A = this chain, B = another copy of it.
Amino acid sequence: MSWVSLETSQELYVRKIKDGTVIDHITSGFALDVLKILMINGKDGEAVTAAMNVASKRQTRKDIVKIQNRELKPAEVDKIALIAPNATINIIRDYAVVSKKTVELPTIIKGIIRCDNPSCISNTREPVDPKFRVDHREPVILRCSYCGHFIEREDVLKQF
């Protein structure tokens, strides 16, 4: 019944969730940013685990986020891809992993991020939607398709 048991031996064992999402292979140190993207602060009563800077086979270190009773919307996955381009999204239903996908960071980013150059045409009254080319993948650097302004990961995070 207990979802986490803390033994005297100080092992922390987080049991299976019935339904929800496990986001694995998050860029190490960015689990709390993923929670922010998903607007999770723990106050809604659903079980959530965030493990930061843990050993991994694929990367030196990684973060993991596990969320009970929640599946992610495509717009949320697109935001996660910008800061954790190697993350995998595992959907859990009835205790089983029913889907496992790596997030996709496309070459062109539309509709997620604003250009932070105030004089960019995408920030005027012109009917122009923000559009960026991915200049560097990790850490992400975006280049505005209109004004050429560069946006780095820290600036992306400020918009989430």
Contacts and interface: CB of A to CB of B under 8 A. Distances in A.
Interface of A: 1-4, 6, 8-17, 22, 24, 28-32, 35, 41-57, 61, 63-64, 66, 68, 90, 92, 95-97
Given A42-B53, A49-B49, A54-B47, A16 B6 contact: no
B8 A15 contact: no
12 contacts: A6-B64, A9-B16, A11-B14, A12-B64, A13-B14, A14-B51, A29-B42, A29-B43, A32-B32, A49-B50, A49-B51, A53-B68
Nearest to A13: B13
A140 to B, nearest CB: 16
A17 B51 CA distance: 13
Given A45-B61, A51-B49, A54-B47, A16 B8 contact: no
A22 to B, nearest CB: 6
Shortest 9 CB-CB distances between A and B: which pairs?
A4-B54, A42-B52, A12-B14, A29-B42, A48-B52, A3-B54, A29-B43, A3-B55, A49-B51
A82 B82 CA distance: 37
Given A1-B55, A49-B51, A6 B28 contact: no
A13 B14 CA distance: 6
Contacts of A63: 42
